[in-house]
Amino acid sequence: MSTLPFAAPGARAEVEEGAAFMPRFDRDGLVACIAVDAGDGRVLMLAHMNAESLARTLETGEAWYWSRSRGELWHKGATSGQIQRVIEMRVDCDQDAVLIRVSVGGDGGCCHTGRRDCFYRSVSLDPASGRAVLRVAAERQPDPRAAGA
Amino acid sequence: MSTLPFAAPGARAEVEEGAAFMPRFDRDGLVACIAVDAGDGRVLMLAHMNAESLARTLETGEAWYWSRSRGELWHKGATSGQIQRVIEMRVDCDQDAVLIRVSVGGDGGCCHTGRRDCFYRSVSLDPASGRAVLRVAAERQPDPRAAGA
């Protein structure tokens, strides 16, 4: 990709309040990306994007990540069908993280373990041992607003 | 903190399906942490935790981060009052990211710019210039389920 559609980071006021997208990549050239289901707001996954995957995501409207484990561009869903169509992208105050609201293709799943999202285990301290233990979490409670609460 | 309440990463099956919390810190000793409002599910911020901040979060029930910019432990809300009480912690499939559902103290805000959350700007490509531009986003749409959709 010859020309990237975003700028190099400027002064703090520009980064926080300006109208230019100037992602602040870390020393590995990555920003964190949170993917949220556009339908119900559930956090699906956290992954990373480099400049090229961020540009492709903006230009194609589908989520492209950088796979840190494989060291390669990763068009999410290219093999599984779980394409993430980007309904909206947001950036945070210091422009080192993005959030995408996505509509998920295929079977609607996201996690490579077969689950709908990657955050399927809760973490808590076991009082007896003082160790942190994991439990597969029940599906999220329905949004209380849906019940008129 | 002498003893950490979690284990070193094990084999992949243990990491993905086991009952032990074995956070996979990156080479800077950090995991990403997504903070979500426990009330309405809104993504508030993304920050990082090192082993000590993660342990303190588990042990105190309040969010402690590692400030990459200041290079120090950061008890969120210690000065602003915007303490994040952790209702639930989750970990993702490969245990390199955590998600906390929090109840926010003080004025209920989160972002240092004074906004409720850090993701207050949308990113989109300007068709005329081909550049990515930011717009301060309207408050989120109400959850469609709340309207019976």
Containing B110, the helix (H) or strand (E) segment is: none
In the predicted structure, residue B58 carries a pLDDT above the cut 60: yes
Report DSSP letters for B62-101, one per residue. B-EEEETTTTEEEETTTTTS--EEEEEEEE-TTSSEEEEE
- Does the pLDDT value for residue A1 go beyond 60? no
Comparing CA positions, the residue from B106, B113, B112 lying closest to residue B85 is: B106
In this complex, do B21 and A90 lie within 8 Å of one another by their Cβ atoms?
no
Among candidate residues B3, B28, B15, the one with its CA nearest the CA of residue B93: B15
Only one residue has tokens 């285990």, namely A121
Per-residue pLDDT at B101 exceeds 50: yes
Let me know if residue B80 belongs to a domain: yes
**Is A125 among the domain residues?**
no
Residue with tokens 């109400």: B142
Mind listing the pLDDT tens digit for each residue in A58-107?
999 999 999 999 999 999 999 999 999 999 999 999 999 999 999 999 99
pLDDT over threshold 90, residue A142:
no
Chain A nearest-CA residue for B55: A132
Q: Which residue in B3, B122, B131 is closest to A88 by CB distance?
A: B122
**Overall number of domains in chain B:** 1
User: What pLDDT does A3 receive?
Assistant: 84
Does residue A97 lie in a domain region? Answer: yes
* Residues flagged as binding site of A: 92-94, 96, 111, 118
- pLDDT in the model for residue B3: 84
**Residue B118 among known ligand-binding residues:** yes
**CB pair distance less than 8 Å for A58 and B144:** no
- Give me the interface pTM, i.e. the ipTM: 0.91
| pLDDT the model gives residue A112 | 94
B111 is in an annotated binding site: yes
Which pTM does this prediction carry? 0.91
Domain extent, residue B70, equals 12-114
User: For B118-134, how does the pLDDT look when each residue is reduced to its tens digit (9 = 90+)?
Assistant: 999 999 999 899 999 99
Question: Residue A36 maps to which CATH number?
Answer: 3.10.20.810
Across the interface, which of A111, A134, A146 has its CB nearest the CB of B20? A134
Average pLDDT, chain A: 92
Per-residue pLDDT tens digits for A121-141: 999 999 899 999 999 987 654
Higher pLDDT, B144 or B25: B25
Does A144 fall in a domain? Answer: no
Residue A128 lies in a domain: no
The answer to whether residue A94 sits within a structural domain is yes
